[in-house]
Structure 1
Amino acid sequence: MIKAITSLVKFAKARRFAAECIAIGVVLALIASSCMIKLASIQLIDGQTTAQAATDARTRKVTVKAMRGRITDTNGTVLAQSVERYTIIGDPYLASTFEPINCGTKQAEKAGFCHKVNGKRVGAKGAAAIARLLAPVLGLDSMELGAKLTGTNRYVVIKKDVEPAVKRAIDNLHLGGIVYGTLSSQRVYANGTQLGALLGGVDDSNTGVAGIEQMENSALNGTDGYVVYQQGNGGEEIPGTMTDSKDAVNGSDVALTIDHDVDWYVKKALKEGKEKSGAAWGIAVVQKVGSGEILALEDTDEYEAGSDDAKLNTARAVSQTFEPGSVGKVITMAGLLQTGLHKATDKFTVPYSYTKNGQEYHDSSSHGDEHWTLAGIIKNSSNVGVVMASAQYTNEQRYEFLTKFGVGQSSGLNIPGESQGVLRSPEAWDGRTSNTVLFGQGYTTNAIQLTNVVATIANKGVRNQQSLIKSITHADGTVETPTSGSATRVVDEQVASDVKNAMESVAESYDKLVHVDGYRIAAKTGTAEVAGADGRLTSIVADFTGMIPADNPQYVITVVLKDPAGTYGGVTAGPIFAQIGEFLMQKYDVPVSSPRNDAIAVDW
């Protein structure tokens, strides 16, 4: 009985143990099944999502900057261009984790590089170590650089406009993506103050903000591209992981009509003339007669292209306005001939002073009654003579021919900051102004406009649209030639010839001062009072503008000086004109003039 009871107890224990084992087995099986299900879920369901997240974390889209187009002269000489530069970026957060690899260690042997400063161990960790390695390469103070790289932010600009060789030296420091360079560009100008304000400059984003850089910004600016790739832990590109890209399209090259050599010589002659005469400033323009192309556009201002001064100031040749003085008599003579009111040979008795409608007019120097033809009035630059000759020349006609010659209007060159001068309508003229406009007072113009007045006479009475842009060459090699405005006939060919004839007589009067061996000149001088620093008429502008050679005009030159010693345009600006004219004749190998045998009589 006792044995039976003992057996029953053992059986019960064995059964309970078996039940517990089965229960534990079931639990383990359930756990294993759950793990298998989770594993399958991770591998089969969530795997792609996880992998994509990892890929996204490694993927980087980098902008590929387009290079800004070049600005060249008419012969291809580069005046402005963008060069490859880099902006050096640091990651302070990663810098804090940096540990240099000492040379001669197994770690260095495995990595294939080590870190050292002047052949010695770096002797620091984190941002301080980065600064000690990087500062000598960039020419920076290591203490200041270390401070800049301290922190938890992920982006700090260390230095801009770094040359490619320096960027390669930084790459060789093996800083593991803590410091890297992004491609940028720097605008450089080849000729210092030559064409300074005319070229203008760009801002930090490489956008033109002044001068031709602004005027042609849409052509010069390119279109940025990009690349998409995966990067390693050090920030480097993982080979073969580029998934998308778009090529950058560089900006177009803009060729000017400016001839660099001519412009350089004009600047030189102008500066020398300014110093010799003690003038406050000088302006000079050279224009090709047949095409209206501007070959030189200079002043004596010393603004370096790309500088803040060049960005804040407009080229004086287009911004400075002034009364042209007696050069305006060229327009008056052309109008009198074109309307048929007079011929160049018409005779006048011209006194020193003359009163009309209560207003007195006089010439620049005292003289008795002179017997001059209309051509002689121009030759002798008589204010009284043009007022007398214009008795039947209405105010409307006076205004008409001033506007036809381009006075008080935009040149059409579209240079930012151009001042077109002031020409009021006849209704706004008082009794005196209606006559002073006949001899270049009572309205203002700029040197560009004044040049085209004489170029119209030189071009047989046809006014061309002036041009400064010769061509635009796009990144794909195609060349675009900007369309110029249509030419306009202002006066008949014979009228232009007679005015030119009178202007040649003017030039002959200054032959001792304004002379180019072998070449005839037709020109006009001008002197006008302008406001000085005190706001009163205490300053003068002296100008000399003309064509060369007179018998076959190829070029028009205008020279303007402010407050020169010697006052009169023929004496002060004239010699500079001759100096520039001689250079042009030699450079372009212009045939010498034939003798003059058609002079219109100036006296009777």
Structure 2
Amino acid sequence: MNRPQGRPNAARRTAHYGHTQIIKRAVWVALAFALVLIVFIAQLVRVQLFEGHEMAMKAQANRTYKTVLSAKRGKITDVNGTVLAQSVERYTIIGNPEAAQAFKPTACTKATKDYCQTIDGKPLNTSGVAAVSQLLAPVLGMNVSELGGKLSGTGQYVVLKKDVTPEVKRKIDALHLGGIVYGTRSNERLYSNGTLMGTLLGGVDAEGKGVSGIEQLENSLLTGQDGYEIYQVGNGGEEIPGTMTDSKEAVNGQNVTLTIDRDVQWQVEQILKEAQKKNNAAWGIAVVEDVQTGEIRALADTDEVQAGSDEAKLNVSRAVSETFEPGSIGKVFTMSGLLQEGLHHMGDHFSVPSTINIAGQKYEDAEVHGTENWTLAGILKQSSNVGTIMASDNYSDALRHKYLTKFGVGQPSGLNLPGESKGILRPANQWDGRTRNTVLFGQGYTMNALQITKAVSVIANHGVAKPQSIIKATTDAQGKTTEIKPAGETERVIDESVAKDVLNAMESVSEGYSKFASVNGFRVAAKSGTAEVPGANGKLTSMISDYSAIIPADNPRFVVTVALKDPQGVFGGVTAGPVTAQIGQFLMQKYEVPNSPPRTDAIPTEW
């Protein structure tokens, strides 16, 4: 009877034990939650009180973006303001491969219609790089697979395309790929006249630095100073309005104005190319200088090189780099020295044979002739080597060297153009028995076309050498224009009366070529030259034919020099002379120069 009574007590004990276990578990769970809560509170307190400022700074730093504001490189213009080279706004498009790989296109709904992505109005069926490439490739004009390959790499930076126009950049922005694709501003250098002045203008490298030609010569002035903006960006890479903390405006480079007249340059190049073809010449060079200012109006050669191209960056203008013996043009310098030193007058009489022997050396004229009765002016007109040597009997080596130097032989032009060669003039004490005489008629030393032009301009400018210039002025970002003073000083080389007599004799030279090289309505003073130069084999198998003219002779405005390499016809008067006359005719018309009066004061050339 007692056992049945004991079972309820056991049940009660079991129930009590279970209840106790539940309470204990609850307590432990509560303690665990409390502990976690304490840890969270402690972490919150630590972050808020001790690391909050540091973390906030890190977060701000991660959102802060500094963008470079690229300065535009200055323009290069001709003397009339015609643009020859300029920089235009362009963008380099950058991709973030990691972000592209995680990209998920936004479907178009009423709420997302302003920033969703579709192709031809249809939803994208892809994501990641494939989707980005499908959106971006048509805008950039790139192949989808090529673009996808670039975005499939590692990292957060890859250049997708350079020199993108602002129009294309706006189309990219409309794709709403902020944080995945963005553009950084840059500048592209454009040359609007193709091969005109190609190597003379030169080019810039990938960083926009001038590396050849005028671009290199005036790089410091043309180069601007970049600016910057610092602001915060959102998760999509977009600028957060009102968060700009610092900025500095870009300062564009200065514009450089040349003395070159684009229209004259173009016309001279066309005439020169036609002459090269007509005479089967290897190349041609032409220079036009304004006598009154020393400014170069045209500096041309027949090399057709695209301005800004790799070829333009690796080469220099033949017009400044090519040097050669001027040939009989050098007789102008000799005659000037003889007159200046009082050794002769232009009317002095000489009986000139076809050949002459001096110290075992034979010298001869270009054409065989009998003994001729020429004045010193006649010797210049007939371009007689023999007569020039005879007239220089008392003209010492020191004086020969002195006047060559005074006329700029072996001296830099002062333009400082990249690649310019000053030629060669050895000291007189290094001349051998033959060279001391060949220098009298333009052999035994070398010059470039600029130097020849400058030397002849001494005669045109009444005996005064003016510094040449090719840079007219600069204009800064604020619009202030500064005239550039030519390098060098004005210097008297010979007396005005001497220059007048040499000019007179040069006009007689020109009259001898009137069938080939006349300028209708204008008197011309000129001198031709022909000289042997080394050919491809290194031997004297090539010829330079040149011609330098003062137009008009009665009131000099321009000196025009032309040189041709290996032309058919050889002699400068019949090859380079007509080219000079064509250029002169154009100059007279363009600048509306009044016609010349008849000549009445010619110095006799025969007796």
Verify same fold: TM over 0.5: yes
**Aligned counterpart, 2:402:** 400
- The unaligned stretches of length 5 or more in structure 2 are 1-25
Correspondence for 2:285 among 283, 286, 310: 283
**Aligned counterpart, 2:81:** 76
Q: Deviations over 1:450-506 (max 9, x none)?
A: 001110110000001100000011112222222222101000000000000000000
User: In structure 2, how many angstroms separate the alpha carbons of the residues matched to 1:277 and 1:151?
Assistant: 59
Deviation at 1:121, TM superposition (A): 2.8
**Aligned counterpart, 1:530:** 533
**Aligned counterpart, 2:64:** 59
Native 8 Å contact 1:223 1:250 kept in 2: yes
Deviation at 1:148, TM superposition (A): 1.1
Query: Residues 408 and 148 from structure 1, CA distance in 2 versus in 1: closer, same or farther, beyond 3 angstroms?
Result: same
**Aligned counterpart, 2:90:** 85
Query: Residues 483 and 121 from structure 1, CA distance in 2 versus in 1: closer, same or farther, beyond 3 angstroms?
Result: same
Deviation at 1:32, TM superposition (A): 7.5
After superposition, the CA RMSD in angstroms is 2.2
User: In structure 1, how many angstroms separate the alpha carbons of the residues matched to 2:29 and 2:132?
Assistant: 59
Deviation at 1:561, TM superposition (A): 0.3
Deviation at 1:308, TM superposition (A): 1.1
Deviation at 1:39, TM superposition (A): 3.9
**Aligned counterpart, 2:137:** 135
Native 8 Å contact 2:106 2:112 kept in 1: no
Q: Deviations over 1:233-268 (max 9, x none)?
A: 111111000000011110000000000000010001
Q: Deviations over 1:305-341 (max 9, x none)?
A: 0011111111111100111000000000000000111
User: In structure 2, how many angstroms separate the alpha carbons of the residues matched to 1:376 and 1:272?
Assistant: 33
Deviation at 1:49, TM superposition (A): 2.0
Letter in 2 for 1:521: V
User: In structure 2, how many angstroms separate the alpha carbons of the residues matched to 1:151 and 1:23?
Assistant: 51
Letter in 2 for 1:366: V
- Give the alignment of 1:249-328 within 5 angstroms: 249-328=251-330
Query: Residues 575 and 28 from structure 1, CA distance in 2 versus in 1: closer, same or farther, beyond 3 angstroms?
Result: closer
Deviation at 1:409, TM superposition (A): 1.3
Native 8 Å contact 1:293 1:466 kept in 2: yes
User: In structure 2, how many angstroms separate the alpha carbons of the residues matched to 1:482 and 1:402?
Assistant: 28
**Aligned counterpart, 1:8:** none
Report SS of the residue matched to 1:60. Answer: strand
**Aligned: 1:517 with 2:520:** yes
Correspondence for 1:388 among 379, 387, 390: 390
**Aligned: 1:590 with 2:593:** yes
TM (normalized to structure 1)?
0.94
Report SS of the residue matched to 2:167. Answer: helix
Native 8 Å contact 1:564 1:572 kept in 2: yes
Deviation at 1:31, TM superposition (A): 8.8
**Aligned: 1:95 with 2:100:** yes
**Aligned: 1:367 with 2:369:** yes
What number of residue pairs does the alignment pair up? Answer: 586
Report SS of the residue matched to 1:109. Answer: coil
User: In structure 2, how many angstroms separate the alpha carbons of the residues matched to 1:29 and 1:311?
Assistant: 76
**Aligned counterpart, 1:4:** none
TM (normalized to structure 2)?
0.93
User: In structure 2, how many angstroms separate the alpha carbons of the residues matched to 1:346 and 1:574?
Assistant: 28
Report SS of the residue matched to 2:118. Answer: coil
- The unaligned stretches of length 5 or more in structure 1 are 1-20
User: In structure 2, how many angstroms separate the alpha carbons of the residues matched to 1:591 and 1:231?
Assistant: 69
**Aligned counterpart, 2:334:** 332
Query: Residues 460 and 171 from structure 1, CA distance in 2 versus in 1: closer, same or farther, beyond 3 angstroms?
Result: same
**Aligned counterpart, 1:602:** 605
Deviation at 1:84, TM superposition (A): 0.6
Q: Deviations over 1:142-170 (max 9, x none)?
A: 01211110033111011111111111111
**Aligned counterpart, 1:158:** 160
User: In structure 2, how many angstroms separate the alpha carbons of the residues matched to 1:262 and 1:288?
Assistant: 12
Correspondence for 1:470 among 469, 472, 476: 472
Query: Residues 109 and 22 from structure 1, CA distance in 2 versus in 1: closer, same or farther, beyond 3 angstroms?
Result: closer
Letter in 1 for 2:270: K
User: In structure 1, how many angstroms separate the alpha carbons of the residues matched to 2:604 and 2:154?
Assistant: 89
Report SS of the residue matched to 2:68. Answer: strand
Report SS of the residue matched to 1:46. Answer: helix
Report SS of the residue matched to 1:263. Answer: helix
Deviation at 1:41, TM superposition (A): 4.3
Deviation at 1:414, TM superposition (A): 0.6
Report SS of the residue matched to 2:514. Answer: coil
Native 8 Å contact 2:562 2:579 kept in 1: yes
**Aligned counterpart, 1:210:** 212
Native 8 Å contact 1:92 1:153 kept in 2: yes
**Aligned counterpart, 1:487:** 490
Native 8 Å contact 1:122 1:133 kept in 2: no
What fraction of aligned residue pairs are identical, expressed as a percent? 59
Deviation at 1:415, TM superposition (A): 0.3
Report SS of the residue matched to 1:321. Answer: coil
Native 8 Å contact 2:326 2:530 kept in 1: yes
User: In structure 1, how many angstroms separate the alpha carbons of the residues matched to 2:135 and 2:346?
Assistant: 83
User: In structure 2, how many angstroms separate the alpha carbons of the residues matched to 1:112 and 1:487?
Assistant: 70
Letter in 1 for 2:354: Y
**Aligned counterpart, 1:556:** 559
User: In structure 2, how many angstroms separate the alpha carbons of the residues matched to 1:429 and 1:535?
Assistant: 21
Correspondence for 2:505 among 469, 483, 502: 502
Letter in 1 for 2:360: G
**Aligned: 1:568 with 2:571:** yes
Deviation at 1:55, TM superposition (A): 0.6
**Aligned counterpart, 2:14:** none
**Aligned counterpart, 1:422:** 424
Letter in 2 for 1:415: L
